[in-house]
Amino acid sequence: MIDSIITYLKSNPLLADSLRVVVAMVFALIFMLLNALIFIYVERKVWARTMQRMGPTYVGKWGILQLIADFVKVLNKEIIIPAKANRFAFLAMPVFITAVSLLLIIVMPYDYVVAYTLLIFQPIFPAISILKYAVVSSYFQYGVLLIFVILSFNPIFILLTGWISNNKYSIVGGFRAAAQLLSFEVPFLLSVAAVVVLTGSLNLYEIVEKQKSMWLIFLAPLTFILFLITAIAEAERTPFDIPDAESEIIAGWNTEYSASPFLLLIMGMYVRAFVSATLLAIFFFGGWLGPTLPGFLAPMSGPLWLMIKTYFFMFLYILIRAAFPRYRIDQLLSLSWTKLLPLSVANLLIVIAVKYYLMSMGLMS
């Protein structure tokens, strides 16, 4: 049965590719949604504990089912579209923002994580090994470039969302968010350029494979710090969450949103935060490289290492959110243009010098 399917697909490469992409995307989507739920739950719990509160406790053991209850609750809410807002665009913008954020996950190696973790069930269902062929994220030769192309849609969409809501808080929030994202994009790109100089590749898989001898964090610590700061700003998280500073402009550019459009916007934000945590793990901490974990097969420990590292950065994001106060918008923008931009240019020059030195020593090809 399986053999005949494989021979049929081999004669139809386009169909086989499409099917592969669909399987990979569905995998990655389910994985991403689960992780967004876990991220929000962990964030609420850790955030509460740092404030000496309990966090969610009521639904399920330790409040584990709280997020699912919230999800069901939000689906039962009424969608309110303000009379002054543009009806069609008001519903279309959350769909676009979420769809574009979810587009990131096909480029990230999440389908690889799912496919190789499911190999646990290989002794029971031998056919599951076919999932190894469903990994498509390794084929993006320009993966890093693609991530930035997708991310650069965000300022436009956010500005539009604020504008079509026709609310003063939304518009101020939208303008602030767009300025912030634009300002931090440049040091973000320059610090990634330093990573690309050291690894010589735009493919996420090759970037990880190049770190086999040494993780980039040891080679370029300044790049890591720059990338961490700008990644938090690009994900609009505290201390750079000026777009939705509750005490000044209610909820920023999503003030007018309620029910499922609001859910979609929040989900898009968490997807972007999770993707940036994964990028930190891939660029600087060797992605899925690491010793074989005890009790797991060798191909499965790679994805598990990637998840462990990603969750470490997620945890760091949450602690940063709990510990630091918010910047003011003018302070934030001047931080980007007067400090981070010159620093990232200097960092790029340092990295180029390190690269030429290592090449002359024969330590790097």
Residues 234 to 253 in contact with another protein, rule: CB under 8 A = 250
Tokens 């106060």 sit on residue? 325
Q: Judge whether 67 and 60 are in contact, CB under 8 Å.
A: no
Name which of 171 and 300 has its Cβ closer to another protein: 171
Residue 170 touches another protein, criterion: CB under 8 A:
yes
Residue 233 touches another protein, criterion: CB under 8 A:
no
Residues 126 to 145 in contact with another protein, rule: CB under 8 A = 136, 139-142, 144-145
Tokens 């169909």 sit on residue? 15
Name which of 18 and 50 has its Cβ closer to another protein: 18
Tell me how far, at minimum, the Cβ of 317 lies from another protein, in Å: 23
218's CB contacts (< 8 A; 6+ apart) are: none
* 38 phi and psi angles, rounded to 5 deg: -65, -40
Residue 353 touches another protein, criterion: CB under 8 A:
no
Cα Rg of the chain, angstroms: 22
Q: Which of 165, 13, 147 is nearest to 89 (CA)?
A: 165
Residue 266 touches another protein, criterion: CB under 8 A:
no
Label residue 14 exposed, middle or buried (CB < 10 Å: 0-12, 13-18, 19+): exposed
Single residue of 192, 229, 282, 306 touching another protein by CB under 8 A: 192
Residue 12 touches another protein, criterion: CB under 8 A:
no
Residues 27 to 56 in contact with another protein, rule: CB under 8 A = 29
Name which of 106 and 282 has its Cβ closer to another protein: 106
Residue 197 touches another protein, criterion: CB under 8 A:
yes
Q: Judge whether 175 and 152 are in contact, CB under 8 Å.
A: no
Single residue of 67, 102, 135, 235 touching another protein by CB under 8 A: 102
Residues 284 to 343 in contact with another protein, rule: CB under 8 A = 329-330, 333-334, 337-338, 341-342
Q: Judge whether 192 and 148 are in contact, CB under 8 Å.
A: yes
